[in-house]
Amino acid sequence: AMPHGLPADEASTSSASLPSTATALPSVPEDDALPSGAAPKRKRATSPTLARRAVVSDLHNRLSRTISIDRLPEEGKRLNQTRIAREPSVEGIDKRVIWLLLRPADWMPPSDRTFPIGVDDILTLCNSVQPILESEPTLLQLSAPLKIFGDLHGQYADLMRLFDQFGTPSKEGGDINMVDYLFLGDFVDRGAHSLETIILLLALKKAYPRQIALVRGNHEAPEVNARDGFLHECVERCGGKVGGVIVWRRLNELFEWLPMAASVNGCILCVHGGIGRQLESLQQIRDMKRPLRMAGDNAELILDLLWSDPTKSDAVGGVHLNAERGSPIVCFGPDRVHAFLEANKLKMIVRGHECVMDGFQRFAGGKLITVFSATNYCNRWGNAGAILLVSKDLEIVPKLIFPVDDIGDEAAWLKAESHDEHLVNMRPPTPPRDDETVEATAQEKGVATSTDPGGELEEGDAGGAPQARRPG
């Protein structure tokens, strides 16, 4: 297994190589001849121009003033904390949300647990995003290059770190015009900032509908997120029980319209859980009619796509009942992976759903990769978080972050509490299954590693770690 205590600049990475017009602008006609003495018509601008003034403010927005753009260099020397201030556009809830929440370099959790987006604005955002999701197929068709994010579980600080270190989905200083973003579900639950996570992702989806792709996870269901923290957070941070339940219900209605999987360049299947027992062809996913409910039509296929896991190692083949998660959830072996890929003319499966110590891990001889983006899962395991960068030629490069001490891990994860009706039944997470170091870590922290077969669990893949090389 790959070491997981290295500094970020020495992080191990792996690559999995897969087989692998500009339109001229119309000319602008000259103005028609003008009557004598008439004022000339103003021509439409054909080239961008830079304003000759800028608004500057101090670090805490306590002082703001307008200066000539020619004075910016001397202003920067005079106030080393000065920055150019941007005012949010009042047009579009997505723009306001992005302006408030997308702060990769300096986001800090609010000390009083307030949430800056009101209930009415959340509902407006959901209403504006739902038609976009409804217009998308259940199986998305995406193209590289793109970044693939695994489970976030309300770890907003980790999401901001990933954006800060590996690129931000923004046109201003970001890379949204060069690379697409795919998120593999489990946006909410367990973490303390699920609202920031899901509301920002929805705003990004509204702002960049073709570049941002959201796939459903098993926690995007009321049966699960009422128990594992999201309902609790909505009630706590959205004005009490009435407002919180309204927000929680509306978001879960929206989750039912999320796509179930994505195909990248027609050769990589991306899904939250796995292929389970029922999935034989991609057409089965295309044929699923949304909205999709866990207990509705296609229940067995939904269970496989959102809940199934690979077996414990490449040595365990076949399809078996999942002893950790409980019946009727199954785990599938490397032989099942190879057969599915061959039958569907695919090259690889990328999935999330399981905590892995190095943030990513291979299975089935590298034909399946698990990616998990939240660090130090539930403040227990000290695992790294990762995203996968898929280049245009389909080389896959993991990008890793490691747990840090200054983001308040104790407050970053919710805990089961007997006095809270929404947290009393929260299931404990299952430790990753990477190697014996998990047991040692658990013993050092005094954490039990036994599992509850009837519970909702987040397992770790046992596939071998890729050979290490420097990040690309």
Residue-wise pLDDT tens digits, 230-261: 999 999 999 899 999 999 999 999 999 999 99
Residue 70 has pLDDT above 50, yes or no: yes
pLDDT tier at 31, thresholds 50, 70, 90: very low
Give tens-digit pLDDT for 291-321: 999 887 899 999 999 999 999 999 999 999 8
Give tens-digit pLDDT for 115-132: 999 999 999 999 999 999
Give tens-digit pLDDT for 166-200: 999 999 899 999 999 999 999 999 999 999 999 99
Residue-level pLDDT at 91:
66
Write the CA distances from 330 to 300, 306, 326, 344, integer angstroms.
11, 11, 8, 21
Residue 75 has pLDDT above 70, yes or no: no
What are the φ/ψ torsions at residue 397 (nearest 5 degrees)?
Answer: -120, 115
112 against 463, higher pLDDT = 112
- Using DSSP, state whether 142 is helix, strand or coil: strand
Q: Which residues contact 69 (CB under 8 A, 6 or more apart)?
A: 50, 51, 52, 53, 54
Residue-level pLDDT at 98:
96
Question: Alpha-carbon distance 208 to 177, whole Å?
Answer: 10
Question: Alpha-carbon distance 334 to 336, whole Å?
Answer: 5
Of residues 100, 84, 106, the one with CA closest to residue 163: 106
Q: What is the CATH number of domain 122-267+348-404+414-423?
A: 3.60.21.10
Query: Per residue in 61-71, is it b (16+ CB within 10 Å) or e — as a string?
Result: eeeeeeeeeee
Q: In this structure, what DSSP letter does residue 391 have?
A: -
Of residues 215, 134, 220, 137, the one with CA closest to residue 182: 215
Residue-level pLDDT at 238:
94
pLDDT tier at 426, thresholds 50, 70, 90: low
| Top-ranked range on mean pLDDT: pick from 325-329, 383-387, 456-460 | 383-387
Question: Alpha-carbon distance 250 to 262, whole Å?
Answer: 24
Comparing 106-115, 167-176, 261-270, the range with the smallest average pLDDT is: 106-115
Question: Alpha-carbon distance 221 to 208, whole Å?
Answer: 25
Q: Which residues pair with 361 in a beta bridge?
A: 370
pLDDT tier at 404, thresholds 50, 70, 90: confident
Residue 377 has pLDDT above 60, yes or no: yes
Residue type at position 95: K
Residue 154 has pLDDT above 70, yes or no: yes
Contact of 393 with 384, CB cutoff 8 Å: no
What residue spans define the domains of the chain? 122-267+348-404+414-423
Residue-level pLDDT at 47:
34
Of residues 380, 398, 437, the one with CA closest to residue 11: 398
CB atoms within 10 A of CB 111: 7
Percent of the chain with pLDDT over 70: 67
Residue-level pLDDT at 247:
98
Q: Stretch 76-102: mean pLDDT, rounded?
A: 66
State the DSSP H helix or E strand holding residue 248, giving kind and residue range, or none if neither.
helix 241-255
Please indicate whether residue 219 is annotated as part of the active site. Answer: yes
- Using DSSP, state whether 180 is helix, strand or coil: strand
Residue-level pLDDT at 294:
85
Query: Which is catalytic among the residues 4, 153, 193, 219?
Result: 219
pLDDT tier at 458, thresholds 50, 70, 90: very low
Contact of 220 with 194, CB cutoff 8 Å: no
Total residue length of the chain: 472
CB atoms within 10 A of CB 23: 5
Question: Alpha-carbon distance 338 to 315, whole Å?
Answer: 14
Q: Which residues pair with 84 in a beta bridge?
A: 56
Which residue is associated with the tokens 């990762």? 386
Comparing 37-46, 263-272, 329-338, 441-450, the range with the smallest average pLDDT is: 441-450
Write the CA distances from 425 to 70, 153, 219, 415, 418, integer angstroms.
61, 17, 15, 10, 8
pTM of the model: 0.74
Residue 60 has pLDDT above 60, yes or no: no
Residue 373 has pLDDT above 90, yes or no: yes
Of residues 249, 270, 248, 250, the one with CA closest to residue 260: 270
Residue-level pLDDT at 8:
42
Q: Give the 3-state secondary structure percentages of the chain, helix then strand then coil, rounded to 5.
A: 30, 15, 55
Q: In this structure, what DSSP letter does residue 5 have?
A: -
Residue 85 has pLDDT above 50, yes or no: no
